[in-house]
A = this chain, B = another copy of it.
Amino acid sequence: MNVYDRLKELHVALPVATPPVAAFVPTVQAGNLCFVSGHIAKRDGKSWAGQLGVNMSTEEGQRAARTIAIDLLGTLHHELGDLERVQRIVKLFCLVNSGPAFTEQHLVANGASELLQEVFGRAGSHARSAVGVAQLPLGACVEIELVVEIR
């Protein structure tokens, strides 16, 4: 089954890629590696603001992370022309806007990691770090960046 069939099966509609809000580009490819800029969580087209452990639960954070993963796929589809060119999701870095006592960043990140594995199968399993940060651009609850191997 190809990637687009799997997206359909998962009822995932790719968003139209939106240009970055600042002086950078969505992806840069160097050799076979594609570096994808940090994407913040969005809701209704705007920053999904919030802080885990303060005004958001782990479950909400997971949903936000899943949403970012879908946006990252939208960006990759737009930049690569075809998601079948993804050889491997290499590395995911998940930054969670965290109150002082919130220690479930790894569970929040699972919202994105699991979607990538559902979509790409074995090629979607990746190295990862998840951390709790003091704040994020536009007050977003989660930000995720990727390194992807391209064929």
B136 touches A105 (CB 8 A): yes
A132 touches B131 (CB 8 A): no
Apart from A103-B136, A103-B138, A132-B135, 12 more pairs, CB < 8 Å: A22-B109, A22-B110, A22-B113, A24-B126, A30-B90, A30-B149, A37-B129, A38-B128, A105-B137, A131-B136, A132-B137, A134-B134
B137 touches A38 (CB 8 A): no
A39 and chain B: residue at smallest CB distance: B129
Q: Count identical subunits in the complex.
A: 3
Residues A88 and B30 in contact in the complex (CB < 8 Å), given A95-B131, A136-B103: yes
A132 and chain B: residue at smallest CB distance: B135
- From B37, B110, B137, give the contact of A23 (CB < 8 A): B110
When distances are taken between beta carbons in the complex, the residues of chain B under 8 Å from A136 are 103, 105, 131-132
* Distance in angstroms between the alpha carbons of A130 and B24 in the assembled complex: 11
B104 touches A137 (CB 8 A): yes
The residues of A with any CB-CB pair to B shorter than 8 Å are 20-28, 30-33, 35-38, 53, 87-93, 95, 98-107, 109-110, 113-114, 117, 125-139, 143, 145, 147, 149
* Distance in angstroms between the alpha carbons of A36 and B127 in the assembled complex: 6
A90 touches B134 (CB 8 A): no
Query: Can you report 6 A-B residue pairs in the complex whose CB atoms are below 8 A from each other?
Result: A22-B130, A25-B127, A30-B90, A35-B91, A36-B127, A106-B138
